[in-house]
């Protein structure tokens, strides 16, 4: 199989590429990535010389380059997206362009070349739920410009299945964690901040609930949907680890042996969803369940950031520093 993986230099995309190249020795992958702030070729240093791997720098909104690459593959897997909620509040236009118009460009290429199309989405498209868990046929009710752009991309993809007969699949995963995650998301920013004895800013009361999944478990689930998923269907992918943000924060401080005095309560962000939860019976029926124990995987994740300071320290002195010092920290009055 020949795969066009878009956004493959990002966190989940890079882990997925490594998973596929390791498992399927005869698969070929073209990685199309614009290399915006979170796209990092250091994430794939260990596979860059693999004969079945090719990197192309480019924008998924660029129809010329997308069509050229689509003619060489059997399937498009779209990881490419602007993803951080805070950034979507400050600059929603970037999210609309990449997440919706970029998906449209890829869908057009899939239609013209008769390709399978797998859209990587998020549980955030459902919005918040007080009790119970969302199923795939529940109404989408996104709260932020980010989750709205992902929901819009999903709906557009589904329309290409209904109207044009494109072989479309969608995965909606819960919060991922693990190696190579850009240090703006909760777990990597708190791990690295703790290592540097910097404050860990908690939104509101810290009781927001998220379901956490180790990134390799998610990659294995996406792999299964790619090969066994039913065309036109969406699949929830959850880790079964619902934890409050405060629990995650204290767990990180415990694993890094740092004091709880580093916790700093800040004003809650606008439209902050209280709880996410997804029902995964549908993908369980395909034969998938998460393999990684949460506590063990968290220890391994902390250990990875401890052993790979070369990877994250230069990020935190570059784009990360610019954004968080000039925008995030100033907005919350942090030093």
Least Cα distance to 77 among 222, 196, 217 occurs for: 222
Q: CB pairs under 8 A, 24+ apart, for 129-135?
A: 129/275, 129/276, 129/277, 130/274, 130/275, 132/277, 133/238, 133/277, 133/278, 133/279, 134/236, 134/277, 134/278, 134/279, 135/236, 135/278, 135/279, 135/281, 135/282
Q: What are phi and psi of 135, to 5 degrees?
A: -105, 165
Q: Is the separation of the CB atoms in 161 and 218 below 8 Å? A: no
Burial of 197 (0-12, 13-18, 19+ CB in 10 A): exposed
Q: Is the separation of the CB atoms in 316 and 202 below 8 Å? A: no
Q: Is residue 118 helix, strand or coil?
A: strand
Query: Which residue numbers are catalytic?
Result: 123-124, 146
Q: Which two tokens stand for residue 89?
A: 């509040």
β-strands 167-173, 263-266 pairing: unpaired
Q: CB pairs under 8 A, 24+ apart, for 293-298?
A: 294/212, 294/214, 294/239, 294/241, 294/243, 297/177, 297/178, 297/214, 298/177, 298/251, 298/252, 298/255
Q: Is the separation of the CB atoms in 142 and 125 below 8 Å? A: yes
For 271-301, letters b (16+ CB in 10 Å) and e give: eebebbbbebebbeeeebebebebeebbeeb
């Amino acid at each position: 199989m020949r795969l066009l993986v878009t956004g493959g230099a990002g966190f989940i995309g890079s882990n997925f590429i490594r998973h596929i190249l390791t498992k399927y020795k005869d698969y070929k992958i073209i990685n199309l990535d614009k290399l915006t702030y979170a796209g990092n070729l250091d994430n794939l240093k260990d596979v860059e010389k693999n004969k079945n791997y090719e990197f192309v720098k480019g924008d998924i909104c660029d129809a010329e380059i997308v069509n050229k690459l689509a003619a060489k593959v059997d399937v498009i897997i779209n990881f490419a997206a602007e993803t951080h909620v805070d950034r979507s509040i400050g600059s929603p236009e970037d999210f609309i362009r990449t997440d919706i118009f970029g998906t449209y460009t890829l869908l057009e290429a899939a239609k013209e070349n008769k390709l399978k199309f797998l859209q990587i989405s998020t549980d955030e498209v459902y919005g918040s739920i007080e009790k119970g868990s969302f199923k795939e046929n529940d109404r989408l009710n996104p709260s932020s410009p980010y989750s709205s752009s992902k929901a819009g991309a999903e709906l557009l993809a589904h329309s290409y299945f209904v109207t044009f007969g494109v072989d479309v699949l969608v995965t909606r995963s819960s919060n991922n964690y693990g190696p190579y995650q850009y240090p703006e998301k909760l777990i990597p920013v708190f791990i690295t901040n703790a290592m540097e004895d910097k404050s860990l800013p908690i939104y509101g009361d810290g009781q927001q609930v998220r379901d956490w999944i180790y990134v390799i478990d998610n990659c294995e689930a996406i792999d299964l949907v790619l090969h066994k998923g039913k065309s036109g269907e969406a699949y929830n992918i959850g880790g079964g680890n619902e934890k409050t943000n405060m629990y995650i924060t204290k767990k990180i401080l415990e694993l890094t042996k740092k004091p709880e005095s580093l916790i700093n309560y800040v004003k809650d962000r606008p439209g902050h969803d209280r709880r996410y939860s997804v029902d995964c019976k549908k993908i369980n029926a395909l034969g998938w369940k998460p393999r990684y124990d949460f506590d063990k995987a968290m220890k391994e994740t902390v250990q990875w950031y401890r052993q790979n300071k070369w990877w994250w320290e230069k990020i935190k002195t570059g784009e990360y520093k610019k954004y968080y010092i000039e925008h995030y920290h100033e907005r919350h009055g942090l030093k």
